[in-house]
Amino acid sequence: MKAICLLIAFAISIHAATLEWDANPPEENIQRYHVWTQAGTNAWTLLGTATNATSMAIPTPTNRVRFAVSAVNADGFESERSAPLEFIPPTPPKSAPRIRLTLQSADSPTGPWTDQTNAVIAAALPFSGFYRGKMEIER
């Protein structure tokens, strides 16, 4: 007997991932499903087994990876793996945004800062009269 398993959904959030699939027809007497993973061209690896379930919480993928599911019936026969589902992580932006910190002392609103070393030190300290005027740091 050959059982067929279809992988239909993959949901991911920041902290969790769940793999879901359609149940095989009741007459196939499926006892469990095997969840498989493959990274790159490596061999398929058994990630886990789901008994009486059509979903499995899985480690949140961080790299490109493929998933597949197979069904095992009461006689211990295992189906072929489902068509693979590939997860491709999102690509981060290529450059970081520029940032600017502006501090203004209450007693001298107009004097410019010229010493970047003092500006960085002043930015790290509590406001205690250490600086005078306006300071901008841009990176």
pLDDT, one tens digit per residue, over 21-69 is: 999 999 999 999 999 999 988 999 999 999 989 999 988 888 889 999 9
Residue 64 φ/ψ, nearest 5 degrees: -65, 125
- How sure is the predictor about 15, in pLDDT bands with cuts at 50, 70 and 90? low
- Domains of the chain in sequence order: 7-87 (2.60.40.10), 100-138 (no CATH)
Q: How many whole angstroms separate alpha carbon 121 and alpha carbon 48? A: 53
pLDDT at res. 50: 95
125-105-134 Cα angle (round to 5) = 95
